[in-house]
Amino acid sequence: MFSRTAFLIGLLALTPLAASAQGVQFIGTGYLDGKGTDKSGLPATLLEDGVSPMNGLNGIGSGMTYTGFQNRFVLLPDRGPNKVEYKGGAEVDFTTSYQNRIQTFDIKVAQDASRPSGWRVDLSHVGTTLLKNPAGEQYIGISTGFATEGKPNRRFDPEGVAVAPDGTFWISDEYGPHIFQFDQTGRQIGMLKAPDGFEIATSGPNLKTEMQTNKIGRATNRGAEGLTITPSGRYLAIAMQSPLLQDGGQKGLNSRIVIYDLQNKSAAPRQFIYPFDDTKMGISEILAVDETRFLINERDAAAGANGRKLLYLVDINQSEKPTELTGAGYVGVSAKTLPESGQPDGIVALKKTLFADIGKMLNKAQEDGKGSFANARGLPDKIEGYAWGPDLPNGDHLLLACNDNDFDSLETGFPNYIFAFAVSPSALPGLKINRLNQGVTFGPN
């Protein structure tokens, strides 16, 4: 446990809900109030926004992954606080010199007869690992940290995380988009090259500058949001939050799923179309079910009763074979582009099937007095991370979700939530959970 932390546990206050048609059931909530202190060893010095301490235990919900060791999970803060406006901050989109890190937690969902649901969700903070580039320089979230002549890249907006079977971990960066590999000390030891046509030509300190300058590549703040590794450890998949600029950007409906072969890292990755139904939606996570099936977290930016937070199932081995865009010529700077909506003749997108309406489940539980949320603000706007956990005693699979609270707090905004769901084995036959060698604990440095 950790000291000087107003540590709050959102315990279950609900009777079991009827399982959805897909066999997914919400079972409870845990949360942190956003005012804790992490284990980075950094001082409590306030960042440029004047309110956020450098060593705050907050903002942990941009991504999460199960290590495979007991109840241990890695949770991922993004680039740091950028919600509070401060003098001169507009030039850098109010980002700060937050030192990028991961937070390691033990999260236990256990039976407890004293609780109305018979379950409780407990969180214990295990450790903090700062993230550094290959030269040992600290990665930071401020938007001016991009590479310039004679200086390596230091800016980092972590969004997706996955632990590999060897205990190293991969993180997707929305700024690049980059796909970085780290050892357990937090030092970068490798990377995967972004596909041709994904990086912008000219980096800038703010969204306005980048979007005025670039016509090809990821849209600013809408890059590589999700990352997962298949259970075998061979394939790594990333999901772009929104379509590339050349595919329509925020006006487009055709985003991309990219799959790398970690046994052949120099090979061009496969790319597939992931179609949206509404330009207000974006992808925040991708989670492997097996070697070809993935859950996709699709969400809007609305909080409360009107928020849409959906989990879709896709299969790259679907019956109508999806088009691999590299072979079809839809990759690269001068390649054919995808239309804003629909697909060109002969091009087949991934078929998505609704697996669970997460927003509806959480809102319904709250309406029924089941205690889904810690305050009156209701459903958070940014549910961004998903992870499998150890199976529950009855054989159901444990699925956890977390939210990016933008480094806010329970009193002024949303806390850091951990939502727990039980998934019937019949809902996902063949599910395989990625587990580390049990000798790799992924604990404190």
Separation of CA 137 from chain center: 24
**C-alpha span between 261 and 230 (Å, rounded):** 10
Model confidence over 181-211: pLDDT tens digits?
999 999 999 999 999 999 999 999 999 999 9
Q: How confident is the model at residue 117 (pLDDT cuts 50, 70, 90)?
A: low
Model confidence over 334-381: pLDDT tens digits?
778 999 999 999 999 999 999 999 999 999 988 887 888 999 999 999
Angle at alpha carbon of residue 310, lines to 307 and 314, rounded to 5° = 160
Range 237-264 average pLDDT: 97
Range 274-301 average pLDDT: 98
Report the range of poorest mean pLDDT among 13-22, 104-113, 395-404: 13-22
Top pLDDT among 243 and 152 is at: 243
| pLDDT for 15 beyond 70 | no
DSSP 10-67: -----PPPPPPTTSEEEEEEEEE-S-EE-SS-----B-TTSS-BTTEE--TBSEEEE-
**Is the alpha carbon torsion for 381, 276, 397, 165 positive or negative?**
negative
| pLDDT for 405 beyond 70 | yes
Cβ count near 268 (within 10 Å): 16
The confidence score (pLDDT) of residue 439 equals: 64
Range 54-70 average pLDDT: 95
Q: How confident is the model at residue 444 (pLDDT cuts 50, 70, 90)?
A: low
Closest CA to 37 of 11, 1, 84: 1
- Is residue 16 a part of any domain in this protein? no
**Are 310 and 224 contacting, i.e. CB atoms less than 8 angstroms apart?**
no
Range 155-180 average pLDDT: 95
Query: Which CATH number is 413's domain given?
Result: 2.130.10
Range 374-393 average pLDDT: 96
Amino acid occupying residue 225 = E
Q: How confident is the model at residue 11 (pLDDT cuts 50, 70, 90)?
A: very low
- Is residue 8 a part of any domain in this protein? no
The number of domains in the chain is 1
Report the range of poorest mean pLDDT among 164-168, 245-249, 344-348, 380-384: 164-168
| pLDDT for 30 beyond 90 | yes
Provide the residue range defining the domain that includes 191.
Answer: 24-427
Range 245-254 average pLDDT: 96
Range 137-166 average pLDDT: 93
* Average of per-residue pLDDT values in the chain: 91
- Is residue 442 a part of any domain in this protein? no
404: left (phi over 0), alpha (psi -120 to 50) or beta: beta
Count each helix (H run) and each strand (E run) in the chain, helices first: 3, 22
Buried b (16+ CB within 10 A) or exposed e, 19-46: bbebbbbbbbbbbbbbbbbbbbebeeee
Q: How confident is the model at residue 22 (pLDDT cuts 50, 70, 90)?
A: low
Place of tokens 């060897």: 166
- Is residue 1 a part of any domain in this protein? no
**C-alpha span between 54 and 43 (Å, rounded):** 6
Range 53-79 average pLDDT: 96
Place of tokens 């596909």: 195
Q: What percent of the chain has pLDDT over 90?
A: 82
Give the residues across from 260 on adjacent strands. 236
**C-alpha span between 445 and 232 (Å, rounded):** 27
Separation of CA 272 from chain center: 19
The confidence score (pLDDT) of residue 150 equals: 81
The confidence score (pLDDT) of residue 5 equals: 41
Closest CA to 332 of 131, 165, 198, 141: 198
| pLDDT for 18 beyond 90 | no
- Is residue 441 a part of any domain in this protein? no
**Is the alpha carbon torsion for 37, 128, 52, 76 positive or negative?**
negative
- Is residue 19 a part of any domain in this protein? no
The confidence score (pLDDT) of residue 371 equals: 80
| pLDDT for 24 beyond 90 | yes
- Is residue 7 a part of any domain in this protein? no
